[in-house]
Structures are given as C-alpha cells and as structure tokens.
C-alpha cells in the first residue's frame, strides 16, 4: 500500500486481524502435514478458484449407509468376498482424515462402485501420500540446506536458504525456519496450480526480482526492521512490493521455548510422583510400625493403612491426569500458534505471488479490495495434495462481518471498491475502525465471488487488472457480476447474513463410523 513521503513512498501489503501477539494468547500450564501429489498438467486455465472434489469410490451398505473412499481390494471383486475399505472424509474448511474400516462383510454390502483403473490409481496414490505426509514433510525439511551468515542484528547470525520461489534469511531457530520454507513452498506451488504464471505472452516481461523472505526471531528485530524500512505497524507480517520483500515477525520461537520449559517442569513433576510411588510401600510399613508402637488395634491399623494407600493412589491419579491435560493444552497452544503463523505466511504469500503474476509481468494491478480480500480467503484455506482447498468460510471473519452488517455502520460496497491504500492500512495513517470495516467487507466480497457464486477465474481476474486510465472501479465490478452494484449489494448482504457457522459449500454427510473404527488422525 502506498504510504506518505515520510516513509519513502514504499508500497506495503499488511495482514489484518492479527493485532495481538501470539505470546499474549497463551497461558502455559506447568501442572499438524502436507503430502504433495503432482497435479494434472494444465491444458487450460482453471475456470474458477474452487478446486474439483476428489473422485471417490463408494460402498452402499444394506442398512442404507453410503461410504465414500478407496476400495483397497483388487478388481474384480468376488460378490461373496469381504471388502477392505478406507473412508476419505474431507470436512469443509478442515483438514481431511481417513477411517480405516475392518473388512466389510459381503452380507452387509448392497453395492460397490469402483472408479476406472486410471482414476483408481490416482486416488490410491493420493491416499497413500496422505498417509505418508509426515515422512514426506520430514524429508522435505531435512533436504533443506541452511547456511549461516551475519544478519542485520549484530547479536545474531541468520540462517539462509535459496530456492526456486524465494531466498530466506531467518534468525528463528533452524527447525522453524525449515518448517516455514516448506510451508511457503507448498503455498506458492498451490497458488501456481490455482492461478498459473504466464508462460507465453506475446511481449513477455522480464522475470521479477527474486522474492526475499525475512523471518525475524524476536520482536525487537521485527521492530528494528520496520524502522529501517520506515514504517511502524502493529501487524505481524507485511510485504513490500518495491523491494520484493516479505517480512514475518513470528512469536513462534518464544512460544516453542515456553512450551519446552513447561514440558520440562511437567516431566520433573511426573518424575517426583514416580519416585514417591516407588517409596510408598516403605512409607506404609513405617506408618504401620508407628501405629503398632502407639498401641493402635490391628483392625484400626489396617483401616488407616488402607485409607492412606487409597488417598495416595487417588492423589497420584489426579496429578497424572492434570499433567496429561496440561501437556495437551500446551501442545494445542503450539498448534494454534503454528497455524496462526502459517496464516500470516499464506496471506503475504498471496500478495507476493499476485505481484509476480500480474503487477510485475503485466504492468497492471489488482483492485485493492480483491487483493486484500483474496489474501484473507487464502489465509485460512486448507492445503492438501498440492491444492488450496477453498470450500468453507472462515467462521471468525464471518461472525465479525455479520456483526458489522447488523450494526448499520458498514460502508457501502461502492466505498470498498474505491477504497485507497490508506484505508487498508492498520497501525499507520489509516483509522483502525475504518480499516477493520474495509478489510471485512473485502473478505466477504472475495469469499462470495470465489466460492459462493464463483465468478473469479484467471480470465476474470485478468480483466480486473487494468491500468488506471481504464474504466472506473464500480463499472468494472458491475461488468464482473453482471448487474448494477446496488442490486448486487442487496443480494450480497442478504447472502452473508444468511450464512451460519462454517458454510458448507459441498454436500458432505457425516462419516458413517464402523465398529471399532480406527481414524487416522491428521497433523496441523
């Protein structure tokens, strides 16, 4: 976004709705990968931003239940044979998971629908890649070579990496750096599959400069980098098009360190209980001897000893339960922090990719409402098998947008379409309340046009990338939606207010759970 001359006129894209640092979100108790399956070759650009659903095989049971997934037995099937089956469940807006059924008896099967051999092989490959995603991710991280060099912080050295999409300089720990590199690579690969970069323009432009990524390991480094560039924002990440620079000020190192300290304290507490448990019998014997010396009758001694033993067992059981609960809580905190950090990376990755896809190669620019709106949509999208799966609304943004629309304080869509860069900027010259409203409205517009009424395609977006001397933003938008803006706004507001929770854009029944089911858990 274009800032004033006081900050050197650089252009920034800034994330929204991340105004609190991760470290303030978590109270530590002291008591999630992606498998890449090569997408099919592109013969034509996608017609919309929604990815096609996987083609699945199905079994209909005699009780009427329908299961969708992968039949693992060889074809053809004997009508009298039991069937091995892996159910594939892809809840909208959430990571997919698998349910491995015990063999389904032939007497329980009404019908089996198989895919053609080529499609069955593709599905089998995807399911296996999903099962192996942890190993694949680990191998990808291990394959990343990090070099050390002096950083902008005189007190620290940076980890450096150069890849196909970007070059990284990071003062975060090497594990987080590798995880971030893998995630960024997956994001750029998925964006290219969704919106392929040009390969054969009549007058091709020179390729854009290499994208530089800075991962700041501390808040002080992040603030110092802002000062060096000439900005001051509360946002945890930003992209500078004029410098081809993506900066993320992650609190993940602090979160991970807090979790490590908490984990050590929990382990020490657990060890103390184990040591006490090993000395319990000796303590019980001493107690019985003391009671005997005091002349306590045998029956009463026995009752006291029994109560003491039961009280200890109860205390130990409760303590171990608290320890395990604390571990789960802390692990959940790390998972939430990591997912939030990945969201920041996804948001800014979109800005960097769009900068290469349209601005640098075509000389045009995306409308701000669309650029910031799609960045928010991609921020919460699920990446699976090399695809950005856009199939649900972000429930948090949806609730905030509905509150804004109900309040009567929401700006008209014409205002959002014509909003300038200052109105999208948080933490500098833009008013926070105005920026919040414009961001929410732009997210709602992009979500509607990308998923609910999928009008956005590479070709449609191409038409919106126009020099400033072309048609006005409102006329351009009306051409996209095929109706006057007032008519569209009435329809759009009603549609947004009608949504509830996670909007399911594809009909998906709840999975039919088999007896003694063994779900294959996903990783964040």
Q: Is residue 276 part of a domain?
A: yes
The residue from 313, 347, 365 where one domain ends is 365
The encoded tokens of residue 455 equal 């009008």
Q: How many residues does the chain have?
A: 524
Same domain, 106 and 185: no
Q: Which residue has the higher pLDDT, 420 or 69?
A: 69
Determine how β-strand 211-216 pairs with β-strand 166-170.
parallel
User: For residue 52, what are the contacts with CB-CB under 8 A and spacing of at least 6?
Assistant: none
What confidence tens digit (pLDDT) does each residue in 476-495 have?
A: 999 999 999 999 999 999 99
Same domain, 86 and 196: no
Grouping H, G, I as helix, E, B as strand and the rest as coil, residue 218 is coil
Q: Are 89 and 130 in contact (CB under 8 A)?
A: no
Rounded Cα distance, 99 and 470, in Å: 53
Q: Is residue 269 part of a domain?
A: yes
Q: Are 181 and 168 in contact (CB under 8 A)?
A: yes
Model pTM above 0.95: no
The encoded tokens of residue 168 equal 């990284």
Alpha-carbon Rg for the chain in angstroms: 28
What confidence tens digit (pLDDT) does each residue in 267-320 have?
A: 999 898 888 888 888 888 888 888 888 888 888 988 998 898 899 889 989 999
Q: Is 50 exceeded by the pLDDT of residue 6?
A: no
Structural domain boundaries, residue 113: 55-123
Q: Are 476 and 460 in contact (CB under 8 A)?
A: no
Instruction: Please give the pLDDT value at position 407.
Output: 93
- Which among 385, 262, 239, 409 has a CA at the least distance from the CA of 331? 262
Q: Is residue 48 part of a domain?
A: no
What residues does 85 pair with on adjacent strands?
71
Same domain, 199 and 83: no
Same domain, 374 and 350: no
Q: Is residue 46 part of a domain?
A: no
Same domain, 352 and 475: no
Q: Is 50 exceeded by the pLDDT of residue 234?
A: yes
Burial of 46 (0-12, 13-18, 19+ CB in 10 A): middle
What confidence tens digit (pLDDT) does each residue in 97-146 have?
A: 898 888 888 888 888 899 999 999 999 998 988 888 777 777 788 888 89
Q: Is residue 169 part of a domain?
A: yes
Grouping H, G, I as helix, E, B as strand and the rest as coil, residue 324 is helix
Rounded Cα distance, 243 and 8, in Å: 12
Measured at the CA of 157, the angle between CA 156 and CA 158, to 5 degrees, comes to 125
Rounded Cα distance, 457 and 369, in Å: 16
User: How confident is the model over 147-171, as a mean pLDDT?
Assistant: 84
Number of domains in the chain: 3
Same domain, 245 and 159: yes
200-207: long-range pairs with CB below 8 Å, 24+: 201/361, 201/362, 204/361, 205/360, 205/361, 205/362, 205/363
Q: Is 80 exceeded by the pLDDT of residue 10?
A: no
Q: Are 216 and 140 in contact (CB under 8 A)?
A: no
Q: Are 61 and 483 in contact (CB under 8 A)?
A: no
Same domain, 202 and 351: yes
Rounded Cα distance, 106 and 104, in Å: 6
Same domain, 334 and 384: no
| Strands (E) located in 12-156 | 13-14, 57-61, 66-71, 85-89, 97-100, 109-113, 147-150
Q: Is residue 110 part of a domain?
A: yes
Same domain, 162 and 242: yes
Same domain, 181 and 309: yes
Instruction: Please give the pLDDT value at position 457.
Output: 85
The residue from 314, 333, 365 where one domain ends is 365
Q: Is 80 exceeded by the pLDDT of residue 217?
A: yes
Grouping H, G, I as helix, E, B as strand and the rest as coil, residue 328 is helix
- Which among 362, 345, 357 has a CA at the least distance from the CA of 193? 357
Q: Is residue 91 part of a domain?
A: yes
Same domain, 22 and 68: no
Placement of tokens 């020179």 in the chain = 206
Q: Is residue 512 part of a domain?
A: no
The residue from 348, 365, 382 where one domain ends is 365
- Which among 394, 267, 255 has a CA at the least distance from the CA of 331? 255
What confidence tens digit (pLDDT) does each residue in 325-357 have?
A: 999 999 998 888 888 888 989 999 999 999 888
- Which among 119, 174, 122 has a CA at the least distance from the CA of 145? 174
* Residue 358: band (very low, low, confident or very high) from pLDDT cuts 50, 70, 90: confident
- Which among 120, 135, 93, 110 has a CA at the least distance from the CA of 389? 93
- Which among 467, 464, 371 has a CA at the least distance from the CA of 419? 371
User: For residue 379, what are the contacts with CB-CB under 8 A and spacing of at least 6?
Assistant: 15, 343, 344, 346, 347, 350, 394
The CATH number covering residue 106 comes to 2.30.30
Placement of tokens 């098998």 in the chain = 385
Q: Which residue has the higher pLDDT, 75 or 94?
A: 94
What confidence tens digit (pLDDT) does each residue in 21-49 have?
A: 333 333 455 443 333 333 433 334 555 67
What string of H, E and C letters represents the secondary structure of 224-265?
HHHHHHCCCCCCCEEEEHHHCEEEEECCHHHHHHHHHHHHHH
Same domain, 438 and 492: yes
* Residue 361: band (very low, low, confident or very high) from pLDDT cuts 50, 70, 90: low
């Amino acid at each position: 976004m274009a800032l004033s001359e006081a900050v050197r006129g650089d252009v920034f894209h800034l994330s929204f709705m991340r105004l609190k640092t991760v470290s303030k979100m978590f109270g530590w108790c002291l008591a999630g990968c992606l498998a890449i399956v090569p997408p099919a070759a592109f013969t034509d650009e996608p017609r919309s931003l929604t990815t096609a659903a996987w083609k699945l095989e199905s079994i209909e049971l005699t009780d009427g239940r329908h299961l969708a997934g992968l039949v693992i037995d060889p074809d053809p099937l004997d009508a009298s044979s039991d069937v091995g089956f892996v159910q594939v469940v892809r809840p909208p807006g959430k990571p997919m998971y698998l349910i491995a059924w015990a063999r389904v008896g032939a007497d329980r099967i009404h019908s089996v629908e198989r895919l053609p051999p080529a499609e069955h092989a593709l599905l089998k490959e995807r399911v296996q890649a999903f099962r192996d995603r942890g190993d694949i991710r680990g191998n990808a991280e291990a394959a990343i070579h990090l070099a050390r060099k002096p950083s902008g912080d005189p007190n620290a050295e940076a980890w450096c990496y150069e890849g196909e999409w970007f070059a990284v300089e990071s003062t975060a720990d090497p594990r987080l750096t590798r995880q971030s590199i893998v995630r960024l690579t997956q994001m750029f690969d998925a964006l290219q599959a969704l919106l392929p970069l040009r390969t054969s323009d009549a007058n091709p432009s020179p390729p854009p400069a290499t994208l530089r990524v800075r991962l700041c390991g501390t808040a002080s480094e992040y603030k110092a980098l802002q000062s060096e560039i000439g900005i001051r924002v509360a946002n945890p990440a930003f992209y500078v098009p004029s410098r081809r620079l993506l900066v993320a000020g992650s609190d993940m190192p602090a979160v991970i360190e807090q979790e490590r300290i908490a984990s050590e304290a929990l382990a020490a507490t657990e060890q103390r209980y184990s040591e006490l448990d090993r000395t319990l019998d000796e303590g019980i014997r001493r107690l019985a001897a003391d009671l005997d010396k005091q002349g306590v009758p045998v029956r009463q001694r026995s009752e006291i000893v029994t109560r003491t033993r039961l009280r200890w067992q109860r205390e130990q059981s409760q303590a171990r339960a608290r320890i395990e609960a604390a571990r789960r809580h802390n692990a959940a905190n790390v998972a939430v922090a990591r997912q939030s950090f990945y969201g920041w990376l996804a948001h800014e990755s979109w800005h960097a990719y769009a900068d290469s896809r349209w601005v640098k190669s075509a000389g045009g620019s995306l409308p701000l409402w669309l650029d910031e709106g799609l960045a928010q949509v991609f921020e919460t999208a699920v990446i699976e098998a090399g695809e950005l799966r856009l199939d649900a609304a972000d429930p948090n943004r949806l609730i905030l947008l509905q509150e804004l629309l109900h309040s009567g304080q929401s700006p008209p869509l014409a205002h959002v379409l014509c909003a300038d860069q200052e109105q999208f900027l948080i933490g500098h010259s833009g008013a926070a309340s105005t920026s919040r409203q414009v961001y929410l409205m732009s997210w709602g517009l992009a979500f509607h046009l990308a998923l609910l009424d999928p009008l956005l395609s590479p070709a449609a977006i191409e038409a919106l990338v126009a020099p400033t001397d072309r048609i006005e933003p409102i006329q351009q938008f009306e051409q996209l939606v095929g109706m006057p803006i007032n008519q569209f706004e009435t329809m759009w507001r009603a549609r947004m207010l009608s949504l509830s929770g996670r909007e399911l854009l594809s009909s998906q029944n709840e999975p039919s759970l088999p007896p003694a089911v063994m779900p294959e858990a996903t990783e964040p």
